[in-house]
């Protein structure tokens, strides 16, 4: 089980890991500092949500555990785990086109909406991390 027991933590490579889909009650941690940014995480079996400096970053329904979440100018990269398939929403650049890769295979090219949100689904199996990479085209 790869749930992040601390709810959110910094990794040695500068990325963050967050989320605990094994919780039956909503838990949250606010004002977690990483690389000069303040993060807030809310997580439990039904949803995992991450905010940075008060702005939306990530949400999954149902809840997930996310490891090595990294953002660059070109996109986002992370591994995700959960007990069942998840609908994931991430914040990216407004009205832009991205290639979504799941475990190295293309899940298609998708366009963010006017507020920069990108929605996609990932098939998950408990105990198995699924690699997600979203790259700007």
- pTM here? 0.95
Beta-bridge partners for 90:
58, 118
pLDDT at 1 over 60: no
Q: Contact 48/26 with Cβ under 8 angstroms?
A: no
pLDDT at 88 over 80: yes
Distance of CA 45 to the CA centre of its chain: 15
CA distance 30 to 50: 10
- Name the pLDDT band for 3 (thresholds 50, 70, 90): confident
CA distance 100 to 97: 10
Quote the mean pLDDT of the chain.
95
Beta-bridge partners for 78:
132
User: Structural domains in the chain?
Assistant: 8-136 (2.60.220)
Which one-letter DSSP state was computed for residue 83? Answer: S
């Amino acid at each position: 089980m790869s749930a992040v027991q601390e709810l959110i933590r910094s990794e040695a490579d500068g990325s963050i890991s967050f989320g605990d889909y094994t919780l039956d009650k909503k838990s949250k941690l606010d004002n977690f500092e990483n690389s000069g940014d303040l993060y807030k995480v809310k997580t439990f079996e039904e949803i995992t949500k991450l905010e940075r400096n008060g702005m939306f970053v990530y949400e999954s329904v149902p809840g997930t555990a996310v490891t090595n979440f990294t953002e660059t100018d070109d996109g986002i990269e992370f591994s995700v785990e959960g007990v069942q398939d998840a609908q994931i929403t991430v914040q990216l650049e407004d009205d832009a086109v991205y290639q979504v890769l799941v475990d190295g295979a293309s899940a298609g090219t998708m366009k963010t909406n006017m507020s920069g949100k990108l929605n996609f689904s990932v098939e998950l199996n408990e105990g198995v991390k699924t690699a997600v990479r979203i790259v700007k085209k």
